[in-house]
Chains A and B, each alone.
Chain A
């Protein structure tokens, strides 16, 4: 089972990658996904998360094949 992790904007610069592939054995929470792929970085306070392009909280469940995105506050318009 694998999931895709994406980073955007200043967060992409901070982690130094645009994404990760993560193999999982069972469903994880969004927070657990962050901790697996960034074990040495605390999750930023203002971080936003999406699963399959829908905003979610850090407790949301992530399953096989899901796309998880992490990004800073949005600044469009």
Chain B
């Protein structure tokens, strides 16, 4: 398990390539990689958004993320997990979050990556403060439920 909070722009695809290159013991063992990449939009709730500040609670954020990944490891057969989340000042088109899960089979990879992402959205202490094109600054009040349809 690798969990990182990142105060700078990061390239999720480079992070994945680097992670896999260093995980030689996984080679040949995984048949499925479940990846979610979240990217900052330039619109929200009908308004154009110029930028965003992502606040977190140092210590608790890492602790809760670790707990969520451990829960996923307890429920699904996972070989490894990589989770990177941005903090600080963010611009549209920047990557906000990367969740990657390696497993032997796709069911574990799909379900565990989804579980980690949805629990991160509802439990990990991060807060978004948006700056709109108008110059107005506002806090995002809540995250929506990501499960739009029952499988």
Name the interface residues of B108-132: CB closer than 8 Å to any CB of A.
117, 120-129
CB-CB under 8 A for A9 and B129, given A72-B139, A77-B117: yes
Name the interface residues of B99-151: CB closer than 8 Å to any CB of A.
117, 120-129, 139-143
CB-CB under 8 A for A77 and B120, given A8-B127, A53-B57: yes
Report if B63 contacts A (CB, 8 A).
Answer: yes
Q: How many Å lie between the Cα of A69 and that of B115 in the bound state?
A: 26
Residue of B nearest to A53 (CB): B60
Report if A73 contacts B (CB, 8 A).
Answer: yes
CB-CB under 8 A for A77 and B97, given A9-B129, A71-B127: yes
Do residues B63 and A76 form an inter-chain contact, with CB atoms below 8 A?
no
26 contacts between A and B (CB under 8 A): A8-B57, A10-B141, A13-B139, A46-B142, A53-B59, A53-B64, A55-B123, A69-B57, A69-B60, A71-B57, A71-B125, A71-B127, A73-B143, A74-B124, A74-B125, A75-B139, A75-B140, A75-B141, A76-B121, A76-B125, A76-B126, A76-B143, A77-B38, A77-B117, A77-B120, A77-B143
5 more A-B residue pairs beyond the given contacts A73-B142, A75-B143, with a C-beta to C-beta distance below 8 A: A13-B139, A53-B57, A71-B57, A71-B127, A76-B54
The 4 residue pairs across chains A and B that have the minimum distance between CB atoms = A76-B126, A9-B127, A53-B60, A10-B139
